[in-house]
Amino acid sequence: MSLVVELKEVHKRFGAQHVLKGISLSVHKGEIVAVIGQSGSGKSTALRCMDRLEIVDGGEITVCGHKITGESPDLSSLRRDVGIVFQSYNLFPHLTVLQNITLAPVHVKKLSRHEAREVADRVLAQVGLEDKRDAYPEQLSGGQQQRVAIARSLAMDPQLMLFDEVTSALDPQLTGEVLKVIEGLAVKGMTMVLVTHEMAFAYKLANRVVFMHQGQVWEEGTSQILKNPVTKELQEFVGNGL
């Protein structure tokens, strides 16, 4: 399988705080990788580095064939190939669902408004919100807003989807709505990296689980490591989560 994401000895500091301490990680096409760990372990920072929302202090990162460390990376091409969804939905409140979704396809991919509308209808169907295209974000529940955020990323037809704790602000019912959408993407073969605290979901969905601790990849393997952790730190982290 071809490599979609490759991190080699990546370091990231915020002032005196050494957040990523030489992490190496690879993700292959069609793979679903769940990144878990305590708050402050560096997992969200690692994800943000994959879309160059953070600039690293050392090491190399290649994503979807784009080398994004070093001088003058082609960020516009990178962002066309990578979708990222955060725990805060980041929808434009003054735009309808349809307008939120068609904005980037029209302005970045130069689709006609008719083509962008067709794309929007397709991705809204994918997330089960065809009837909400004319609604404004404030008229939607948190789960619906998060599903629109996912649809907006899918409208760019990315090779890779990054999810950063997308359910952490939602109650259990709304969390279930969003996780169902992500499961649907998995069935279609989307390559995904998910930073998540949903252990049962990670166990069910992920091909590989990466446990980060103190800015390092501490333990990784199939989802079975959640039931049979090797390190004391992962044992303590998982606890009775499954």
pLDDT digits over 70-91, tens only? 777 888 889 889 999 988 888 9
pLDDT at residue 216 in the model: 96
d(CA 47, CA 54): 9
Q: Domain 1-43+58-75+197-242 adopts which CATH fold?
A: Rossmann fold (3.40.50)
Residue 240 reports pLDDT greater than 70: no
Tens-place pLDDT, residues 41-66: 999 999 999 999 999 999 999 999 99
pLDDT at residue 117 in the model: 95
Tens-place pLDDT, residues 94-147: 999 999 999 999 988 899 999 999 999 999 999 999 999 999 999 999 999 999
pLDDT at residue 113 in the model: 93
pLDDT at residue 76 in the model: 84
Tens-place pLDDT, residues 22-36: 999 999 999 999 999
Tens-place pLDDT, residues 168-191: 878 888 888 888 899 999 989 999
Q: Are 229 and 235 in contact (CB under 8 A)?
A: yes
Terminal C-alpha separation, the chain? 30
Residue 16 banded pLDDT, cuts 50, 70, 90: very high
pLDDT at residue 226 in the model: 94
- ∠ CA(108), CA(111), CA(114), 5° rounding? 140
pTM of the model: 0.92
Sequence spans of domains, the chain: 1-43+58-75+197-242, 85-161
Residue 242 banded pLDDT, cuts 50, 70, 90: low
pLDDT at residue 46 in the model: 96
